[in-house]
Structure 1
Amino acid sequence: MMRHMHRWPGLLAAALLVVVSLSGATLSVMPALEAARTPAQAEADLSVAELAGRVVALHPGVEQIRRAPSGRITAYWFENGQPGAAVIDPATGAGVASADASGVQRWLVNLHRALFLDDGGRLTVAAAAALMLVISVSGLALLARRMGGWHRLVLPVRGPFASRLHAEIARIAALGLIVSSLTGLWMTASTFELLPDVSGPPAFPGAVSGVTGMSPAAMATLRDTPLSVLRALNFPYAGDASDVFTLKTAAGQGYLDQGTGALLVWQEATLWDRVNETIYWLHTGEGAPLWALVLGLAALGVPVLAWSGIKIWLGGRQWRRRPRGNARARDAQTVILVGSEGGTTWGFAETAAKALRAAGQAVHVGPMSGFAPDRYPQARRLILMAATYGDGDVPATARGFLETLAAMPAAPEMPVAVLGFGDRSFPNFCGYAARVQAEIEARGGRSFLSMDTVDRGSAQDFARWGRALSQAMGVSLALDHRPDAPPAQTLTLVARRDFGAEVQAPTAILRFALPQAGLWARLTGRAFGNFEAGDLLAVIPEGATLPRFYSLASGSRDGFVEICVKRHPGGLCSGQLTGLEVGDTIRAYLRPNPAFRPATGDAPVILIGAGTGIGPLAGFARANDRRRPMHLFFGARHPESDLLFGEDLARWQAEGRLSSVTTAFSRMTPRAHVQDALRADGVRVARLIADGAQVMVCGGRDMAAGVAEALAEILAPHGLSPAHLKAEGRYAEDVY
């Protein structure tokens, strides 16, 4: 329900919301410009009487003096049969600028308030405000659910670029958009007199002196009224002895006798008056240029939110396409049902279905929301591929599955296998899949394969599960999942540094030139693209179709592509890469890895790696132009053989890009690994983490497990653990 409240209003009204928000963002600059053009004045030392006397002296036919929230004074008069108006310098009473808004401003106001369509346009803009309110509130609720609770809204957001951008902009702009929407609806209701009329001007006095001609400069009430609280002073109609001065201030409004200056009637401002004035101020920002700019920046986020939202929606529509070769449900031997939020899990389901069809199986793929065992009379097994949305919530295409299962008199007779998809950096990893597995077991269902998980779309995790599936079914399956990849580019090796030969671990740092791309290639998305250290370079070995992934030790702004490669015995790709000479080329493409990069901010970063795992960590240090605290713990075999980036580390430490470098060598006496270096420096490590440090680990899986064990020991006395840090988004791993 919440997803529909967020998705469909945004998709259906995207163009309208962009128009209204961009016009509002442009108008938000006006209060700042108005404040800048307003003559400087010492309002605390000036009364309304003094100002009125100065204006009357220059313009005897003055009809009104008005003070805007910005402090701008405007006078309106009628002299020699002609109306006049000007912005007034209160120090002299003289006009200093035209009182009329520019043509551009009038055009923008008409567009923003009514789309040039009068009352019909006002109602359309009000509908847009209502949609924006629904979208903003539901979006915040969805983001809180995704992050694992409202208290986690400020933590780093992970995921694909469009999804991260959408979430980051949303949580920055949400407050401004909610305030703008609510106040806009209030003002529309006021315009159409839909709000109760509980306020208004005081009753006109029953009797006046009938005398005229007293100067407003001599009136006691006006002398006692500071200019800073003035809203408007209306002058009596010339020659009408029954008319009066009307004074409106922040405190209220009343009438003054034009002959004696006596205050005839006064009405204090009501709570309703103050609410309406506050609503107007909150919506327009008049008199508060900084708040107006905050509203404008929030409005500027709407086009970005519209673009990223549509991109996310289009990316998730792939599951709606009928899978190729999909058997009818009633004829299927294997049924694969998918619970997906963004559509990624469907690609894994198609890979499994294709392999099963090649093994002679009739396979039906469908959404978990369509689960109905009676539809699968020939099915011998049921495979449930369930992603997790937010903090263990139901993904879009699995809505109703658990309810359907609970309503059945018994669990399905066919055996079931559950495969969960999720992100270990979230607190409830594969939480929905675990709920599905638990419900099946509670209903007495049979599993032909133990529940397994795939972390962050890992093709390796999926292939491992595929081997277990192959053994359980007694058929030969190879689940080589290959998401749609961008076109490979040709990279030319321009430099290499070799290490590790003396310790039987030949390793190379390979630097490639950035491929050149023309304007058309960049516009059509066929260029190599931008990247950061920690992203992945997918290298396609000669004679192979599947890429091998290497963490990047450079960013695109460095002007080169750099990776660290260790040659493995019999390794096809590592053998080819370490055998390259300057001038040789490879075919490769980029794969973003947004989950593994330092979070924004100034908190310390603890970099932990061993062997070629130092690659992205070195890239983080190289890119640390802001000199935020970065502490490196690096494990190698011998300082004279495989201290990768040794000279660079010393230089980066001297430049302040690295705050400290701690090394551990396994071929020295005494032998030490990187986790031993952490334990030896446990007090400092614990203090850094207590100060908010993020921990980033890169290298082999065994090393990562040893690091996690060492950190658990170090943090236990402080009531912390690596699991706590992961839940807070402060522990990231890139392991292999």
Structure 2
Amino acid sequence: MIRALHRWPGLLALALITVLSLSGAALSVFPAAERLAAPRAEAGQTVAALATRIKAAYPGLEQIRRAPSGRITAYWFDQGAPGAAVIDPATGRGVASADPNPAERWLTNLHRSLFLGDGGRIAMAAGAAAMLVLALSGAALVARRAGGWRHWFARLRGPLSGRLHVEIARIAVIGLALSSATALWMTASTFDLLPDAGATPAFPADVSGETGVALNDLATLAVTPVAELRALSFPYPGDATDVFKLKTDRGTGYLDQGTGALLSWAAPTGWARVSETIYMLHTGQGAATLGLVLGLMALGVPLMGATGVLIWLAGRRARPRIRANQPAGRADTILLVGSEGGSTWGFAATLHAALTQAGQSVHAAPMSAFAPDRYARAERIIVLAATYGDGDAPASAKGFLDRLAARDRAPGAALAVLGFGDRSFPAFCGFAKAVAAAAEAKGWRALLPLDTVDRQSPQDFARWGRALGNALGIDLNLDHQPVPPATETLTLVSRRDYGAAMQAPTAILRFALPRARPWQRLTGVGFARFNAGDLIGILPEGSAVPRLYSLASARRDGFVEIVVKKQPGGLCSGQLTALERGDTVTAFLRRNPGFRPDRGRAPLILIGAGTGIGPLAGFVRGNARRRPIHLFFGMRHHDSDFLYGEEMPAWQDDGQLARLVTAASRGARRHYVQDALRTEASEVARLIRDGARVMVCGGREMAAGVSDAMAEILAPAGLTPAGLKAEGRYVEDVY
């Protein structure tokens, strides 16, 4: 519900909101510029002294106004001709034209009404309302994604567009909510939809009928500082029944032009003060710094709009549409999905359709929307949970475990948990296991024991579906047809072979860069934008399940490169290592933002073995800023398995690689990469104390050995690999 409330106002009113925000940002500059340019009144200067000076310069003085910026403007008549000027309080004479800035006036009309009068004002009010809905719903979504309000600034992961969208929203949401709410108030005031906030006293009946009092003899003016002045209007010449009208921060009053007496006074009402405060907050008049801050926040709207559209398009591609999705309060089966890249939603759609066909009323939602109090009729809750990284919650499951832990008791509906993962990873279905363990600890009644699906296997899913059907007493046939990703055809342009002498054939395969279409360049989809460390999915012939390989190149390198070792009985690796120049493969790209160098200047410690050198070599190749990189590389034998050995000396000469340490596990002395780390323990510890970031890529046994070695190296400094991981300074890409 919140997501839909956020999505549609943004998509439907994007152009209007963009005009509103950009014109508002431009207008925020003028109050600050006016405040800097306005001549300043003398300390302690009174309205009487100021009025006397201006009156001497302009005898036909009609009115003096002081803007919230401090700028003083005088209006007069000279031989029947009106005049106006910005006044220097020190001399009482004009120093600049009082005419409005043409650019400011044009922008104001655009911002208020699109030059369309009252109809335009209503349209811009609708835009402000849409912005307010976006700000409030966006704040709720940011909190949900971060895992709660307490984690508002938690570190993000995922595609660049999504992270950029949320990072801007974290900062700008307060300003946008404030600007849009105050805009709606001012529109309502313009159309007289709010009570009259006026505080003007009734015109006095006891005027003396005398004239000619000197300005310095007006006691009220003599004790009123210029800093409090808003406006002073003079009596109409020759009209003895007219009076001075004084408006200040403290109220409005009438002064007799013959005796100088204060005839009446009215302090501003509470409602008037609220209206003035709202005007100040929206326009920046009287709070120039705040206006500039709000203007800067408004500049984030176009970027959030663009990234929001990209997120929406990516979501539509990755997440299948679930038809006949029932409201949560009327469903007897609640289906909660935890997915990172969107593939788990495909299984959810298949399950939803099968249960609906069997007569069930089903509601599907992300795990982050877990709200048992809304499930009034639910008899069962089914969780389909993928795992991100080393057992972490995927993007759409943020906050689920916290919400479950915060409950006094488990939901009454029975629970079934199905995990999705890859058995080659050490934390296979780690998040699903954590969900099942938390549910058991809470005393949540189980509908089925925890089960898993390996590598998106339709067979595993169908097997679990039969077990679910038996538990429900229905015939449930889950025939899942994976939605194939959008693929490109890659043509092999070169290969380098290694490892033959050690009976471990390995190849560096370089493919031509696919030509990106204009739409791909604009959105960054496919191979239009990628970095070393991202993943390439290869669809081997005779299989619908892709194999993932880490990229050793970035888009700027002009080619697509991977490192592949032939595995015994490996379908994909066998086909890849058999490729000849000119042969093609079908592939797709998958982002891997969690495994790439940050933008800092701190040293990098890259640790890899075997084919794990691929993305690490890509990081070194792309090190144009000459950041200090220390590479630890483990291989079987220097003579046959030194991948990228030809490039390493050139990278060192160019300053792209500061240091290379190798270890060979075959030869006169067995030496693994973790042994090389221990040999260089003092230098490794020094680098990490100086802020270095560690990146590990390779097999899980190697990664475990490296973690043990690092724990020994860091212990004297009071550091641990787990602590560095929590800081984002120790990352792994393990297979």
TM-score range relative to shorter protein: 0.7 to 0.9
Q: Which amino acid aligns with 2:337?
A: G
Alignment check: 8 A CA contact 2:21 2:299 kept: no
Change (3 A) 1:76 1:686: farther
Check the 8 A contact 2:38/2:69 in 1, yes or no: no
TM-score, length basis structure 2: 0.73
Alignment of 1:216-365 (within 5 A): 231-241=230-240, 243-246=242-245, 248=247, 277-286=276-285, 287-288=288-289, 290-304=292-306, 306-308=308-310, 310-311=312-313, 314=316, 318-321=320-323, 339=337, 344-348=343-347
CA distance in 2 between partners of 1:82 and 1:190 (Å): 34
SS of the counterpart of 1:564? strand
Q: Which residue of 2 aligns with 1:359?
A: none
The answer for the alignment partner of 2:528 in structure 1 is 529
Residue pairs, 1:49-60, within 5 angstroms:
60=59
Alignment of 1:99 onto 2:99: yes
- Is 1:43 aligned to 2:50, yes or no? no
Q: Which runs of 5+ in 1 are unaligned?
A: 324-328, 357-361, 377-381
**Distance 1:439-1:61 versus aligned 2 partners, 3 A rule:** same
Equivalent residue, structure 2, for 1:484: 484
In structure 2, distance between residues paired with 1:67 and 1:673: 78
Q: 1:363-392: per-residue Cα shift (whole Å, max 9, x none)? A: 99965689999999xxxxx98534664445
- 3-state SS of the aligned residue for 2:528? coil
Using the size of structure 1 for normalisation, the TM-score is 0.73
Give the equivalent residue in structure 2 for 1:596: 595
Could you say if the C-alpha distance between residues 597 and 487 of structure 1 is closer, same or farther in structure 2, counting changes exceeding 3 Å? same
Percent identical pairs in the alignment equals 48
* Partner in structure 2 of residue 379 of structure 1: none
Tell me, in whole angstroms, the C-alpha distance in 1 between the residues paired with 2:256 and 2:378: 89
Q: Could you say which residue in structure 2 is the equivalent of 1:136? A: 135
> Which moves more between the two structures, 8-17 or 547-556?
8-17
Deviation string, structure 1 residues 322-346 (Cα, Å, up to 9, x no partner): 79xxxxx99xxxx996635786423
Matched, 1:676 2:668: no
Q: Provide the C-alpha distance between the structure 2 equivalents of 1:55 and 1:426, rounded to a whole number of angstroms.
A: 82
Q: Distance in 1 between matches of 2:201 and 2:664?
A: 85
Is 1:66 aligned to 2:29, yes or no? no
In structure 2, what is the equivalent of residue 564 of structure 1?
563
1:222 is displaced (CA, Å) by 7.2
**Matching residue of 2:21:** 24
Amino acid aligned to 1:460: R
The CA deviation at 1:614 is 2.2
SS of residue matched to 2:564:
strand
Q: Secondary structure at the match of 1:299?
A: helix
Call closer, same or farther: CA 1:261–1:196 in 2, change over 3 Å.
closer
**Counterpart check, 1:460 vs 2:455:** yes
1:159 is matched with 158
Distance 1:642 1:686, change over 3 A: same
Offset, 1:721: 5.0
| Cα distance, 1:535 vs structure 2 | 1.4
Aligned mates of 2:399, 2:161 — CA distance in 1: 22
* Post-superposition offset of 1:552: 1.5
Aligned counterpart in structure 1 of residue 400 of structure 2, from 393, 406, 413: 393
1:372-451 equivalent positions in 2, closer than 5 A: 385-386=384-385, 389-393=396-400, 406-407=411-412, 418-419=418-419, 429-430=431-432, 433-434=435-436, 438=440, 443=445, 445=447, 447=449, 450-451=450-451
Contact 1:392 1:428 in 2 (8 A): no
Asked if 1 retains the 8 angstrom alpha-carbon contact of 2:502 and 2:640, the reply is: yes
Cα offset, 1:642, TM superposition: 3.6
Instruction: From the superposition, tell whether residues 505 and 734 of structure 1 become closer, same or farther in structure 2 (CA, over 3 Å).
Output: same
**What is the RMSD computed on CA atoms of the aligned residues?**
5.6
CA distance in 1, matches of 2:623, 2:681: 24
For the 8 Å contact 2:32–2:292, the answer to whether it is kept is: no
Tell me the SS of whatever aligns to 1:28: helix
CA distance in 1 between partners of 2:260 and 2:639 (Å):
96
CA distance in 2 between partners of 1:662 and 1:478 (Å):
52
Distance 1:211 1:110, change over 3 A: same
Contact 1:487 1:589 in 2 (8 A): yes
| Distance across 1 between alignment mates of 2:711 and 2:552 | 28
CA shift at 1:561, angstroms?
A: 2.3
Superposition deviation, residue 178 in structure 1: 2.4
CA contact (8 A) 2:421 2:455 kept: no
Deviation at 1:434, TM superposition (A): 1.9
Partner Cα separation in structure 2 for residue 322 and residue 618 of structure 1: 49
Report the CA distance shift for 1:339/1:548 in structure 2 as closer, same or farther (over 3 A): closer
Aligned-partner Cα distance in 2 for 1:466–1:427: 14
Distance (Å, rounded) in 2 between the aligned partners of 1:141 and 1:391: 13
Determine the C-alpha separation between the residues in 2 that align with 1:506 and 1:278. 74
Deviation at 1:148, TM superposition (A): 2.8
Range that drifts further, 257-266 or 341-350? 257-266
Match of 1:514 in 2: 513
Alpha-carbon distance in structure 1 between the residues aligned to 2:662 and 2:244: 84
